[in-house]
Every structure is written in structure tokens, then in C-alpha cells.
Chains A and B, each alone.
Chain A
Amino acid sequence: MAHVALADKGQELAHPKTWIGAYVWSQDHKVIGIQYIITATLVGLVALALSAMMRLQLGFPGVFDLIQPNEYYSAVTMHGMIMVVFMLTAFFLGGFGNLLIPLMCGARDMAFPYMNMLSFWVYLASVIVLCASFFVPGGATGAGWTLYPPQAITEGSAGSGMGIILMLVSLALFIVAFTMGGLNYITTAFQARTRGMTLMRMPLSVWGIVMATILGLLAFPALLVAAIMMLLDALLGTSFFMPAISDLGEVSSTTGGTPILFQHLFWFFGHPEVYIVALPMFGIASDLISTHARKNIFGYRMMVWAIIAIGGLSFIVWAHHMYVSGMNPYFGFFFATTTLIIAVPTALKVYNWVLTLWQGNIHLNVPMLFAIGFIFTFIHGGITGLFLGNVAVDVPLSDTYFVIGHFHMVMGVSPFLIVFGGMYHWYPKFTGRMLNDTMGKIHFWVTFLGTYAIYLPMHYIGILGVPRRYFAYGSLDSFPDSVHVINTSITIAALIVGTAQLLFIYNLVWSLFKGEKASSNPWRATTLEWQTPDTPPKHGNWGPELPVVHRWAYSYSVPGAREDFIPQTEEPSENTKGDVH
């Protein structure tokens, strides 16, 4: 016995004695995961509503007089920050990370359950502080989700008083929460795996989440120091990011700081952040595709190394967000090169997903539909990234709707399709009921086709030169009136897609009570979470004995095997010698 999991060394889990202990102040990773998911979903709905307000303004200027410039720019900012950090990051790592890591690794819980619980409550506090900023004088910050100074803290921006301060405090809290959760995810995956679960037998979901967590622990500190420095600039009048300026006619007391420093700090966090969302998405997509195609993931080892390589490279590409920021333009050569290099492992992952389908036995279940939709949107968003990553090509497109189209395809639609796919896939394990299939299919088709109708045209009006973050366009000689027409059509598509998400929420609630009862392994999957003695798994996950792992996570359609899948816990037999891993 080379390796003994921490949870196996005889110490007892603190079983809750009260309802509040079981469901509120819970230390059970599954409950915490669900708490994360519910909170992220609710705050995601806020961000969705904000996008509806923006789209009504852009699609029907002067008709729906819901918001003024002040609120519009607050909405732009809050939509972006909520979706990227408080929704997607929290959902993938806090949500799926909590639910899946211990189960997939064969642990009884996270390595530090109490800290795990604290992680959620601090995250909740960060969300509350963030949402409170809607109600302070001046409203929420309208600096754009990048929070660039000086405008983030000067008079001329929305929410430049309390709004930005609450945003920065909220981010600091989020980072504390993330750190507490993140240390758990990494420690659990590296130290609390059950017997036989070698690193190269781990499901790609765990690989993706763990690597993303490592990126987060390295990247978030840059944001934290940037937030603290900006708080000092805003509250104490320091000049970290503030040169001498004439602020609406009044000479500032600041001098000598540089706004570019903030941009470097922000994107040193901000680019890995893209992969903090993307790597779990890659991992979960791989598992969905493999399970529902009944075929091992193609090139597992390469997939693992690609995750690691992408994670590493993601730290040396950040300034591709800053090609036209006024930084030394010679940096462009370096960052364009590193950025296009990162395209290679990313492209290989796409090939491997598609090659997993090749000669598969594809079951077009709802999770699989979402996974296939994801491959399409990710290819689209990935290749438009090659436009923006290549410095000379980026110049005409930077700060236009092309950028909006690109990152919504790659960082909005793609991860959301995988969030949904993952929810349809794992819901039965954690609730004991299947999600309704019909509602799931409607949700998929409306979301998949609707989002393409939103974002494809955005790329083209971006090439035309239409700038992003405009409250109103009025009439411009440079652009034809058809831009207004497409803006209206984009808004209509967006409202339809937004409504379809409510159907998903309804499905989540309806199925909890009325959904078809789920068996313990409805998708006939190999990984450990489907082999628990109870569905949903009880506190502690595995009866008296921990499972023992004998093979990798992708033993699908092994020649000679009786079934088209072999659980990881099944011992090797003569018939399945061909299963090399």
C-alpha cells in the first residue's frame, strides 16, 4: 500500500446533527458545491438581466427608456465581472470542483472541510457586497469590467465613488474565498486520492479543475494587489496608477503614477482567468464526449499535457490584451508569438474531441448535445482568437464588436454550454432524479442557435469598425443604417435566449420533485462518482470501505468486455487485457 488517503487514516468526519448543520453550515463538499451552484446561478441571473437591459437600449434606442448612460455603463461593467468571476469561475471551481473532485478521486470529502465551508460563506459575502453596490449613491461602477484607472476612480465615470470601492472590496473577498477553496481542491486531488487512482488515471474533469485552480492561486494575487493599490489611490490619494491629470477641469493632486501598470497587473490575472474558466470546461467537455460517445477520450495523455502546457503558457500571453494600450509597441512581437503558440495545444484538444467521436457509438443524449454544441462554438471562438492574438490583425479589430463576438463565443457561450451539459449529466447523481429531457432539448436548441444569431453578426459589425461599450450610436457616416437593423435583431435573439434560461431554471426545480427517478449510473459511466453505494451519495460518500481503482477513467467499449464500459473499480480480467491503462 504505497499511498494512504488522508481520509482513510481513521479520523472521523464531523457528521451534522441538525438540519442547519447539514444544509446551511455544512462541511460536506456536495452541499457546499450545491450552495456554490445556487449562488452562482442567482448572481448569473442578475447578470443576465443586466444584459437584457443593455440589449434593449442598443436594439431599441429611445423606445425602451429603461436606462440612462450612467446605468448603462454600470450594467456593462457588472454584467462582465459577474459572469466571468462570480458566475463562471465560482460555478466551475466552487460548484463542479466541490461536487466532483472528492467523488472522482475516491475521497470522503475535501482535505479541509471546515475551510471549504468558510470558502463558500466568504464567497457569498463577496456576492452580497458586489450586489450592494447597485444601491449606493452613484450606483455600481461603470468603469468596464477591466476597471481601468484613472476612469474607474475619477468623477466622469458611473459609480466612481462607493461603486468602485465596493467592487474592489468584493473582489478581495472573492479572492480570499477562492484561495480557501482552491487550496482544498489541489490538496484533495494531490493528497487524498484513493488507492490505485494514479494521476494518469484521473478523469480530465479533475485535471482541468485542478490545473485551473493552480492558475487561480498564481493569478488572483496580481488582481488582489491591483485592487488594494487602487483602493489606496481612491481613498488615500496615492498615485500608483494616477499621473497628474486635469479631472473635468480640476487639476488632480496625484502625480507620477501610470495607468499601464494597472493594466499589466489586471491582465496578468485576466488572461489566466480565461483559462481558469476554460480548463475545467475542457476537462468536463472531454468527459461528456467520451461517456456519451462510449469511447475512450482520444489521446488522453496528450490531453493532460495540453492542459498543463496551456496552463503554463497562459502566464506569458497577457499583454495581447494591450496591443493598443500604449505600452511599448515592441512587446507586440513577443506576445503575438506566445499567443499563437498557445493555439497549438488548444487546437489539439479540439482535434482529440472530434477524433473521440470518430468510430464512436454516439448517444445524442442532452449532455452530448451540449458538448457537441460546445465544440462548434469553441472552434468558432478559438479561431477568432487567432485574429485578436496576432498583433497586426488585432489593431483594426481591438475595442470593436469583433472582440465582443469573440469572447462571448469562447468565454461566454462555450463555458455555459458545458455548465449546462455538466448539469444535465451530473444532476441525477446529486439529486437522484433525471432532468426533463424535452425541456433540456428545447433549452439546448434555443441556446445554441440563438447565441450564434447574437454573436456571429457582431464579428462583422466589428470588422466594419463599430466600437464596443457605446450607449448609443446616433448616426455615423462610417457605418450604414443596416447596423441598427442588425442590432435590433441581435436584441430579439438575446431576449429569446435569455428566456430559455428560465426554462432551464424551471427544469432544475421541477425535476427535483417530478423528475424521473435516476439509477445510480444512468449514463453507464466508468468514473468513480457513478459507483457510490448511495445516490445521492451520503456524507462520506463511500460506505465503510473506500473504493479501489484498477484502471483509467476511459474504459469504454473495451474489446472482449461484456458491457461497453468498465468502472474504474473493476479488477482486471483475462477478457479485457487489451485495456492497457
Chain B
Amino acid sequence: MAIAIILILLVVGSVIFHFMSPWYFTELASNWGDIDTTVTITFIVCGIVFVLANLFMAYCIIKFRNKSKDQRAAYEPENKKLESWLTIITSIGVVAMLAPGLVVWAKFVSPPDDAMIVEAVGQQWQWTFRLPGEDGRLGTVDARKISFQNPFGMNEEDPYGQDDILIPSSELHIPINRPIKFNLRSKDVLHNFTVPQFRVKMDLVPGMITWQWLTPTKLGTYDILCEELCGIAHHAMRGKVVVDDDEQYKAWLSEQKTYAQFASMQPGDAHAGKPLYQACAACHGLEGEGNQALNAPKISGQETWYLEHQLSNFKHGLRGSNPEDTYGQQMAPMAATLVDNAAIKNIAAYIQTLPDNPAPHTINGDVDNGKDLYETCGKCHGKQAQGKWAVNAPRIAGMSDWYLLTQLKNFKHGVRGNHPSDVRGKQMELMVVSLNDETMQDIIAYINSL
């Protein structure tokens, strides 16, 4: 008997939960309201079946549960008529759900001819984007051409590619009310391009181009999530899409660079960087060896691209603006004195020329445990902790170990990586969730042993 009452309560509770729970679709920001409608139709048809079938079962249990020794069940092997009716009614319900679903799908598979093309490029574990440029045509690409100098794998001979606009950032802007066809390309493994508010999603498959289309209908900034397990930092593969009005979009677009512009960019000039470095030397040392007493880490031997990125972060407030980040706050005004990107590049180029002597070890821990834990870290930072440009992971071996510890703690406690635009910092925050002070030291002890 209890089971019958519980069944009734579960049915009533589920229906109440459906209407009262705070969790339902996010506010729609695209043209795919039809998808929401098909979901609603399915909820109605299935909801009716759920309620009726379970209440009928509860009724049977109450009415026909064994109450006395003499009770006998009815004997009815089958009932052709009833079975036929049930088949027909079920089929009608199925058609009621399937038909609208297929109509919406017909729309899904037919992108409008005038749709604007945007290429979303996925890789472990970040998003970048490419626009066709003035000729309206994307240049050809090849995964085998991907390198540090050519992260998009552009085919340098293809004339259509020269004016392609490359967006080496995980933030994409798109104009409102214009149909957009996203061409989806992966450099390495499967990924999935999802913006919950747009409803549609599609996998990225290496070796082929997949696509989806939508028309953004609401201004705002939305999360891009990867929804196909793509390795150990899958959960940290995030981006933003900003839906702009036409003017904002044009302004944003005008700041972006073409492939030709990227290709002709000058590398940093170490000679020009030397005088600029004098300000740095006060804390980081003449040879960039670092000074723990001043909380200045070793910077010699660090990858140029990483130094540039961090200097830019400090300069633009992505790092060092958090009041809890005392030492970062000291660095921010120093970086602010660098007038432009060229200055940043020059300094980084100069640091590259400094002698690279391993920093002294100051932290001890359980090396064996650290080795197991480092399995996760090593995927990006490399087995020898030498860093990997492709995943934006800096070198961590032979650098100031006390600084690593501070930064791990900062990531864990949201002191670093908390700025909405510091996507790479955020990734670290999402990777160190389950580390504590002790395990952090174990990891660093292992890195020291490399």
C-alpha cells in the first residue's frame, strides 16, 4: 500500500518539480524558438503518459492488492481489442512528437544562402576564430601546417586566405539579427561548439568541416562551452560570444588583423628591449634570476610568448587588479609603463637572451605522490615541465619554485584567473580545484626532481 501512495506522491511531486524548479531553458538568444516548442510538445505528450500510466498503476495496487486468503486474480490472457487501441493511441502520440521535430530539423539542415560565415576553430583546450575577410571566402587550411608561427594552419599560397581575419582569442563578436553559419574545424580531437542560449550545437571533427547555423536575436555576452569530452581539461575549454549591434560589431571588426598582417608582424627586438629591462632588473635581477626576498620570480628561460601574454595581462588589468593579489598589484603599474605591444615584445625578446640558470630549490614534499599528481599537469606543461605553446602552458621546471606555490594557491583561491577576460588563468583555476597546500608542495617537489 505504501508503494501506491509513494507512486502518487512521486507523480504529483514530479509535476510540481517541473513547474517550480528554478532550472529550465536559459533565455533564448537565437532564432531557434522552434526547438523550444518541440521540447514543450514532447513534455506535454510524455507528461500525460507519465501521469496516467503511473496513477493507473497506483490505482491497481490499491484496488487489487492482496487483502484476503481467498482473493483470486482475474484470468485474462489477452484482449486483442484493447491491445489494438493502445497501439493506435501510442502511434498517434509518437507522430505528434515526431512530425514537428522533423519539420524543425528540415530547417536545421538548410542554412540560409546569405548567412555570414564564421569559422570556429577548436583545439585542446581553447577556441579561436576566423572570418573570411573582404573576399567573403575562407582560405584553405591544413592541420599539417600548424606551427608556432602559423597556429591556424593557413595555407600561405592560397590567395583567398590572405585577407582572412584571424581572431587568436576565445572571445568572438557577432552581429545581431543576421543569419550566421558557423563552420566548425578541429585541429586535434573531437570538440563541440555549444552556446546554451542559442540552443543548437554541433561537434567539431578533425579531418572535416562541420557546421551549424543560427541568427542571434538578443544582445549580450554568452558562454561558449565544449560539450564533447576532449581530454583532461575539457571542462576548462571555454569561450565567450558577444552579440553586438551593427555599430559595435564594426568597431570590433576594425580592430582585428588579417592573416597577411599577422604574417608580416615583426618579432621583438632584444636590443631595443635592453634599456626597458632596467626597470625590471631592480626586482627580477640583472640576469632575470629572480629574488625571493622581493617576491620577484625568475623570468630568464621563460617562453617569450608567455612573458608577452602576462605583461599584457598586467598592463590591461587582467592580472594584478585583484586586491588580494598583493604582489600582482606591485607588478601591474610596472607593466603599465610599457607603452605598447612593441615594447612588450622587445622586453620579452631581451629576457630571452639572458642566461638560464636553474632556480634554487626551496620547497620539499613527497616526490612520489607529486609524480602521480603531475600526471594531470604534465598533459599541458609537458612531461619534463618544459611548457607547451600549443596549450599556452609555460615552462615550470627550473623556475622559482616558491613562486609556483604562490601561484597555485592564487589559482585555487580565485586570486589569479578570476578576471572575466583572463581565460587562460581561469583554466588553471579549474584544474587546481582539488589541490591542497600539501599536494601542491608534492607536485613542486616532483617538478624540482625533473
Q: Are A and B physically bound partners?
A: yes
Which residues of A come within 8 Å of B, CB atoms?
Answer: 57, 61-62, 64-70, 73, 76, 138-139, 142-144, 148, 150-151, 154-158, 243-252, 255-260, 293-296, 298-302, 324-326, 329-330, 332-333, 336-337, 340-341, 343-344, 347-348, 350-351, 354-355, 357-364, 369, 372-373, 375-376, 379-380, 383-384, 386-387, 390-393, 395-400, 449, 452, 456-457, 460-461, 463-465, 467-474, 476-480, 482-483, 486, 554, 556-559, 564, 578-581
Residues of B within 8 A of A477 (CB): 221-223
18 contacts between A and B (CB under 8 A): A57-B433, A154-B231, A158-B375, A248-B388, A294-B72, A294-B73, A324-B201, A347-B49, A361-B71, A372-B57, A379-B54, A390-B98, A393-B42, A396-B36, A463-B39, A465-B26, A469-B229, A557-B74
Residues of B within 8 A of A396 (CB): 25, 35-36, 39, 196, 199-201
Closest to B56 in A: A354
Q: How far is the CA of A357 from the CA of B147 in the complex (A)?
A: 67
Residues of B within 8 A of A150 (CB): 188-190, 206
Q: How far is the CA of A17 from the CA of B230 in the complex (A)?
A: 55
Q: Which stretch of B75-83, B268-276, B290-298, B338-346 is in the interface?
A: B75-83
Assess the B53–A350 pair: CB atoms within 8 A.
Answer: yes
Residues of B within 8 A of A157 (CB): 189, 231-232
B252 within 8 A of A: no
Closest to B82 in A: A355
Assess the A156–B197 pair: CB atoms within 8 A.
Answer: no
Assess the B143–A251 pair: CB atoms within 8 A.
Answer: yes
User: By the criterion of a CB under 8 Å from any partner CB, how many residues of chain B are at the interface?
Assistant: 124
Q: How far is the CA of A362 from the CA of B73 in the complex (A)?
A: 8
Q: How far is the CA of A476 from the CA of B430 in the complex (A)?
A: 12
B316 within 8 A of A: no
Assess the A245–B188 pair: CB atoms within 8 A.
Answer: yes
Can you name 8 extra interface pairs (CB under 8 A) apart from A296-B77, A372-B57? A69-B233, A148-B229, A156-B230, A244-B207, A249-B147, A344-B94, A387-B39, A399-B201
Assess the B433–A61 pair: CB atoms within 8 A.
Answer: yes
Residues of B within 8 A of A259 (CB): 189-190, 205-207
Interface string of B248-275 (1 = CB under 8 A from A): 0000000000000000000000000000
B120 to chain A, nearest CB (A): 13
Assess the B90–A348 pair: CB atoms within 8 A.
Answer: yes
Residues of B within 8 A of A67 (CB): 434
Q: How far is the CA of A379 from the CA of B7 in the complex (A)?
A: 12
B362 within 8 A of A: no
Assess the A470–B64 pair: CB atoms within 8 A.
Answer: no
Interface string of B1-37 (1 = CB under 8 A from A): 1010011001000100110011111100000001110
Assess the A154–B74 pair: CB atoms within 8 A.
Answer: no
Q: How far is the CA of A157 from the CA of B189 in the complex (A)?
A: 10
B234 within 8 A of A: yes
B308 within 8 A of A: no
Closest to B420 in A: A477
B202 within 8 A of A: yes
Assess the B123–A246 pair: CB atoms within 8 A.
Answer: yes
Assess the B23–A361 pair: CB atoms within 8 A.
Answer: no
Q: How far is the CA of A148 from the CA of B221 in the complex (A)?
A: 31
B275 to chain A, nearest CB (A): 33
Interface residues in B371-400 by Cβ distance below 8 A to A read 373, 375-376, 379-380, 388-391
Q: Which of A68, A359, A580 contacts B434 (CB 8 A)?
A: A68
Assess the B14–A326 pair: CB atoms within 8 A.
Answer: no
Q: Which of B91, B184, B207, B439 contacts A258 (CB 8 A)?
A: B207
Q: Which of B205, B227, B436 contacts A400 (CB 8 A)?
A: B227
Assess the B153–A324 pair: CB atoms within 8 A.
Answer: no
Interface residues in B186-210 by Cβ distance below 8 A to A read 186-190, 192, 194, 196-197, 199-208, 210
Residues of B within 8 A of A295 (CB): 73-76
Q: Which stretch of B100-108, B155-163, B165-173, B320-328 is in the interface?
A: B100-108
Knowing A478-B197, A483-B23, the reply to whether A392 touches B104 (Cβ < 8 A) is yes
B357 within 8 A of A: no
Residues of B within 8 A of A363 (CB): 65-66
Identify the interface centre among B61, B125, B203: most chain A CB within 10 Å of its CB: B203
Residues of B within 8 A of A486 (CB): 23
Q: How far is the CA of A529 from the CA of B53 in the complex (A)?
A: 32
B404 within 8 A of A: no
